[in-house]
C-alpha cells in the first residue's frame, strides 16, 4: 500500500508503472493507492438508479438527418464515464434503436458507480473505441488507470505534485496529463512508463489538448500564455501571450483551428494565430469541444451557466471578418442548473444508420443524451440518467463495440499480448512518420506566425534562465 508521501514524488525520479497480466508483470512494480473510500480492487457495483427513455414523435424523427453507414464504419455502442465532486465515478452504456414506427430511441444502461479517488475527480479520459483504458485524475494528485473491459482498477500513476487538471489520449498508445504543479507528463500505455515531463508554464496548467496528428499539443494556464509543445521531443516550441487566463483549449477534429475558453467568451483561432471567430455570452461558459456533423461540417459545443448547450457551425461564419460569429445550429435544453461539460460521439443504430449523440452533465446531477434535428433549434434529451444530486465535474464519451467487452479468462492473456504488439506498431508510426502533411502544414503556419511577431521565441532559453536562477539561490 502506497504511503501518501509517495504520491508527491516527482515523476522524473520515480516513473510510475502499471502492471499487466503477462510474463513481464514481475518486472513492472505496482504503485497502488487505497483509501477508506476506495473499492478493494473489485468490480464496481451496479447502479440501481432508473433510466428514463423518451421517444420522439414520428413527425420529428423523420426530419432528422440520418446518414446511412456501412457495417463497421462506426461503433454500435456509446460509453459514458463521468466523475463527481463526491469522488464517485459513473459508467453508462447506450445504444440507438429503430422502432417499428420508424422512430429512433436511445437506451441507457448503468454499468458501474463507485468511489474512485480520495478527493474529488477533476478529469476523465477514455482512450478510444479500440482501447480498454480509462484514466481519471483528481485533487489527490494521482492519475488512476482502469480497465473498462474487466471493470477494475489496474493501478495509479504518480508524477504530479498538484491537482490533475487535464487528461487526454493523443493516440491509443499515449496518455497526456497536466496539473496545477505547472507540468505536463506523457505516458506510454503499453507499460505506463513516463516518457516526457514538460515544463514551461509559470503557475498551474488549466487545460491541454493534443493535435489530431498526436505530434504536438497546446496548453493554457494561469500565466495567460498559450504554449505549443513538441510531444516527440518533449519540449516547448512556441508561446503566445493572451489577455486573460484561459480555462480550456481544444483542437477541432481536423487540426485546422482551435478554441480558447475564457470566462464568458470563446475565441476560435487558426493555426497561424489569426482570430477566426468570437462568441460571447452574458453568463459564464464551462466547456468547449468539437465534433463533425453527418454532412462533415465542424460543430462546436459550448455549455453555459444557464443550463443550455449551444452548438455552432464553425464552417458557416456570419458577420464581418473582424466580428465573425459561427451560425448556431442547435440548443440542448432541459438541465435545471449549469452544464459542466458536453461531448459528442458517432455511433450506429441497430439498422446501421449513423447518428451523432451529444452527452451533457450538469450540477443538477443528470447525465443527458441528445439527438439533434437541424430543422429546429431547441432539443430535449432523448434519454437521461439520474445520479441523485451528485455534483458532476467531468465527462468523457466514446463509441465502442459491445461484443468486444466480454472476455473469457483464458483469452485475457492472449488479448494483452495482441494489444502490446499493436501498441508497438503504433509506437513505430509515432516515431517514424516524419513526413505527415498535416504536421508540415502546422509547422509552416507557426513559422509564418513567428515572422509576423505573433509567436514568442525562446521557451528553452526561459527554462535555462529559471534553472540558473534556482542554482544561484541554492548557492546563496
Q: CA–CA separation, 353 vs 97, rounded Å?
A: 10
Cα dihedral 293, 294, 295, 301 in deg (nearest 10): -10
Q: CA–CA separation, 315 vs 328, rounded Å?
A: 11
Give residue 46's pLDDT band: very low, low, confident or very high (50, 70, 90): very low
Residue 371's closest CA among 352, 357, 351, 353?
357
Residue 129: its pLDDT value, please?
84
Pair 189, 175: CB distance under 8 Å: yes
Please name the residue that has the C-alpha cell 510474463.
Answer: 23
**DSSP assignment string, 154-189:** EEEE---SS-EEEEEEEETTEEEEEETTSEEEEEET
Share of the chain above pLDDT 70, in %: 70
Q: How many Cβ atoms sit within 10 Å of the Cβ of residue 343?
A: 21
Query: Which pTM does this prediction carry?
Result: 0.77
Mean pLDDT of the chain: 79
Q: Is the pLDDT score of 321 beyond 70? A: yes
Query: pLDDT tens digits for 223-236?
Result: 999 999 999 888 88
Query: pLDDT tens digits for 21-39?
Result: 443 333 333 333 333 323 3
Query: pLDDT tens digits for 379-392?
Result: 999 999 999 999 99
Q: CA–CA separation, 234 vs 205, rounded Å?
A: 16
Q: How many residues in total does the chain contain?
A: 476
Residue 422's closest CA among 186, 225, 210, 173?
173
The grid coordinates listed for 471 are: 542554482
Q: CA–CA separation, 423 vs 426, rounded Å?
A: 5
What integer is the mean pLDDT of 356-364?
96
| Per-position b or e across 356-378, b if 16+ CB within 10 A of its CB | bbbbbbbbbbbbbbbbbbeeeee
Helices vs strands, H then E, count in the chain: 4, 31
| Backbone dihedral angles phi then psi of residue 141, each to the nearest 5 degrees | 70, 20
Q: CA–CA separation, 392 vs 85, rounded Å?
A: 6
Query: pLDDT tens digits for 393-441?
Result: 999 999 998 876 554 444 444 455 555 555 555 554 444 443 356 556 6
Amino acid at each position: 500500500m502506497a504511503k501518501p508521501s509517495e504520491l508527491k514524488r516527482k515523476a522524473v525520479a520515480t516513473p510510475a508503472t502499471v502492471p499487466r497480466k503477462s510474463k513481464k508483470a514481475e518486472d513492472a512494480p505496482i504503485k497502488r493507492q487505497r483509501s477508506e473510500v476506495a473499492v478493494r480492487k473489485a468490480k464496481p457495483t451496479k447502479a440501481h438508479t432508473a433510466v428514463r427513455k423518451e421517444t420522439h414523435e414520428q413527425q420529428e424523427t423523420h426530419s432528422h438527418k440520418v446518414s446511412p453507414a456501412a457495417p463497421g464504419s462506426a461503433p454500435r455502442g456509446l460509453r459514458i464515464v463521468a466523475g463527481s465532486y463526491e469522488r464517485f465515478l459513473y459508467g453508462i452504456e447506450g445504444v440507438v434503436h429503430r422502432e417499428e414506427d420508424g422512430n429512433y430511441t436511445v437506451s441507457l444502461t448503468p454499468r458501474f458507480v463507485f468511489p474512485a479517488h480520495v478527493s474529488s475527480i477533476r478529469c476523465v479520459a477514455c482512450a478510444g473505441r479500440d482501447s480498454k483504458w480509462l484514466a481519471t485524475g483528481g485533487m489527490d494528485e494521482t492519475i488512476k488507470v482502469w480497465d473498462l473491459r474487466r471493470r477494475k482498477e489496474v493501478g495509479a500513476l504518480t508524477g504530479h505534485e498538484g491537482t490533475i487538471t487535464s487528461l487526454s489520449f493523443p493516440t491509443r498508445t499515449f496518455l497526456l496529463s497536466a496539473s496545477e504543479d505547472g507540468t505536463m507528463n506523457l505516458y506510454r500505455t503499453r507499460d505506463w512508463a513516463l516518457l516526457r515531463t514538460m515544463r514551461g508554464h509559470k503557475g498551474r496548467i488549466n487545460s491541454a489538448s493534443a493535435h489530431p496528428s498526436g505530434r504536438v499539443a497546446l496548453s493554457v494556464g494561469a500565466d495567460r500564455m498559450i504554449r505549443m509543445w513538441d510531444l516527440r521531443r518533449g519540449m516547448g516550441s512556441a508561446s503566445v501571450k493572451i489577455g486573460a487566463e484561459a480555462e480550456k483549449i481544444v483542437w477541432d477534429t481536423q487540426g485546422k483551428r482551435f478554441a480558447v475558453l475564457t470566462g464568458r467568451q470563446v475565441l476560435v483561432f487558426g493555426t497561424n494565430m489569426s482570430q477566426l471567430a468570437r462568441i460571447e455570452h452574458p453568463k459564464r461558459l464551462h466547456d468547449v469541444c468539437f465534433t463533425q456533423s453527418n454532412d462533415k461540417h465542424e460543430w462546436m459545443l459550448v455549455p453555459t451557466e444557464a443550463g443550455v448547450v449551444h452548438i455552432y457551425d464553425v464552417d458557416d461564419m456570419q458577420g464581418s471578418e473582424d466580428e465573425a460569429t459561427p451560425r448556431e445550429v442547435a440548443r440542448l435544453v432541459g438541465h435545471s442548473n449549469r452544464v459542466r461539460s458536453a461531448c459528442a460521439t458517432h455511433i450506429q443504430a441497430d439498422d446501421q444508420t449513423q447518428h451523432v449523440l451529444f452527452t451533457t452533465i450538469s450540477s443538477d446531477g443528470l447525465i443527458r443524451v441528445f439527438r439533434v434535428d437541424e430543422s429546429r433549434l431547441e432539443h430535449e434529451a432523448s434519454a437521461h440518467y439520474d445520479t441523485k444530486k451528485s455534483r458532476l465535474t467531468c465527462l468523457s464519451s466514446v463509441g465502442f463495440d459491445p461484443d468486444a467487452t466480454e472476455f473469457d479468462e483464458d483469452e485475457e492473456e492472449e488479448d494483452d499480448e495482441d494489444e502490446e504488439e499493436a501498441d508497438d506498431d503504433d509506437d513505430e508510426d509515432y516515431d517514424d512518420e516524419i513526413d505527415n502533411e498535416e504536421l508540415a502544414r502546422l509547422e509552416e503556419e507557426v513559422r509564418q506566425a513567428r515572422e509576423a511577431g505573433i509567436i514568442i521565441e525562446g521557451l528553452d532559453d526561459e527554462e535555462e534562465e529559471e534553472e540558473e536562477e534556482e542554482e544561484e539561490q541554492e548557492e546563496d
